[in-house]
Amino acid sequence: MREADERLSREQNKTVDKGEILEYLAFSTYKEGNINLALDLTNKLLEMVPTHERAKGNKVYYEEEIQKGSYKKKGDDETDDIITNEGHDTPNPDRERYEALCRGELTLPDELVSKLKCRYVTNNNPYLLIAPFKVEQAHISPDLFIFHDVMSDAEIKTIKTLATPKFRRATVQNSVTGQLEIAQYRISKSAWLEEDEHEHVAAVNKRVEDMTGLAVATAEQLQVVNYGIGGHYEPHFDFSRKDEVNSFKSLGTGNRIATVLFYMSDVEQGGATVFPVIGTALWPKKGTAAFWYNLFPSGDGDRLTRHAACPVLAGSKWVSNKWIHERGQEFLRPCTLERPPDDLTI
Ligand SMILES: O=C(O)CCC(=O)C(=O)O
Ligand SMILES: [Fe+2]
């Protein structure tokens, strides 16, 4: 908005109204937490347009908020931070690690990185003898793998084209009711693609089977997701927890045993997939895919797989998810009787 204001001042024939810019600037400044500046800008707007009803209402609101003292100024410049309410002041290590990972400030210690290897994988599959998968390990225990060059540009183009007209605001499942809901902590558009919509979708599903050695007949359809600037998905688990008895019930295929996440674009800035508990960040690279197990062989959910999609700062991020379910894997990944320690499960 500041840029828009500057451009407007250079324009001979004005293409926008300065009042409109001031209104947006005030609101976004308020959202950033700088309520004092938001009030100054609103006052400026009211000097120009004293009858502006929304600005009058906002002025009263901002003044009341400042009065309540819920926003404290830290510095005297425009970039002062906010201290909003108790919730924000309470230390939240998970949140702090999520944000530090997103900024690229937290990386795995060298001793752990030195144990990570890249390898060619054939999974005893004759086709893969000719063209093995190029697999990079990004974390050990829980194991996170990056598969390189597993989605072609042509497949990506088809998948984007098929998904675009179907896009809806992404939802999350209410853990109590099992209902799908829109939530502020997941900002993106998403769509589901069926296998028989295009040979490229079928090929990608088959590839997931070859990559993971798991059956995809019981997997969910391919979920395509697009995040615009600011789009993100805050820390979450892909699987349903012990107390979430209604999640995935209608599918009848058990819990989400594993996730394959295809990156269908590079992202100019931001947009990493981060794992706050284990301190790992995966940066999107077009054509690669991340793979991890969400559940231990006992069927218990792995707490360490908590992950998030960082806000996109510049560009646009495209991914697709293939969630593999428990049913059908009985002989491919046999379950065990021993259970992991309680503090690792959820
Ligand atoms: O977009 C990402 O990087 C992660 C997405 C994700 O975790 C999800 O859709 O469940
Ligand atoms: Fe996820």
Instruction: With cut-offs at 50, 70 and 90, classify the pLDDT of residue 76.
Output: very low
Closest ligand 1 atom to 272 CA: 3
User: Which pLDDT tens digit goes with each residue over 246-276?
Assistant: 888 889 999 999 999 999 999 999 999 999 9
pLDDT reported for residue 19: 85
pLDDT reported for residue 5: 77
- One-letter amino acid at 176 equals V
Cα distance between residue 270 and residue 241, in whole Å: 29
pLDDT beyond 80 at 277: yes
Any atom of ligand 1 within 6 Å of the Cβ of 190: no
Nearest CA to ligand 1 atom 7: 308
Region 99-111 average pLDDT: 97
- To the nearest whole percent, how much of the chain has pLDDT over 70? 94
**Ligand 1: distance of its center to the CA of 335 in Å?**
26
pTM as predicted: 0.77
pLDDT reported for residue 89: 60
pLDDT reported for residue 70: 55
Residue 224, both tokens = 């395509």
Any atom of ligand 1 within 6 Å of the Cβ of 309: yes
3-state secondary structure of 166: helix
Q: Which of 180, 239, 307 to mutate to test the pocket of ligand 1 (most atoms within 8 A of CB)?
A: 307
Region 101-107 average pLDDT: 97
Phi-psi region of 63 (alpha: psi -120 to 50; beta: other; left: phi over 0): alpha
**Ligand 1: distance of its center to the CA of 21 in Å?**
34
Cα distance between residue 155 and residue 263, in whole Å: 12
pLDDT reported for residue 175: 75
pLDDT reported for residue 72: 41
Any atom of ligand 1 within 6 Å of the Cβ of 21: no
pLDDT beyond 50 at 312: yes
pLDDT beyond 60 at 301: yes
Cα distance between residue 204 and residue 206, in whole Å: 5
Region 202-227 average pLDDT: 98
pLDDT reported for residue 26: 81
Any atom of ligand 1 within 6 Å of the Cβ of 288: no
Any atom of ligand 1 within 6 Å of the Cβ of 260: no
User: Nearest ligand to the C-alpha of residue 102?
Assistant: 1
- One-letter amino acid at 247 equals S
Any atom of ligand 1 within 6 Å of the Cβ of 101: no
Distance of CA 208 to the CA centre of its chain: 21
Region 76-82 average pLDDT: 35
pLDDT reported for residue 75: 35
pLDDT reported for residue 79: 35
Region 161-168 average pLDDT: 98
User: Which pLDDT tens digit goes with each residue over 10-57?
Assistant: 888 888 888 888 888 888 888 777 788 878 888 888 888 888 888 888
Closest ligand 1 atom to 223 CA: 9
Region 54-73 average pLDDT: 74
Nearest CA to ligand 1 atom 5: 309
pLDDT beyond 70 at 1: yes
Cα distance between residue 286 and residue 18, in whole Å: 40
Any atom of ligand 1 within 6 Å of the Cβ of 261: yes
pLDDT reported for residue 287: 98
Average pLDDT in the chain: 90
**Ligand 1: distance of its center to the CA of 233 in Å?**
7
Cα distance between residue 50 and residue 62, in whole Å: 17
Any atom of ligand 1 within 6 Å of the Cβ of 233: yes
Any atom of ligand 1 within 6 Å of the Cβ of 333: no
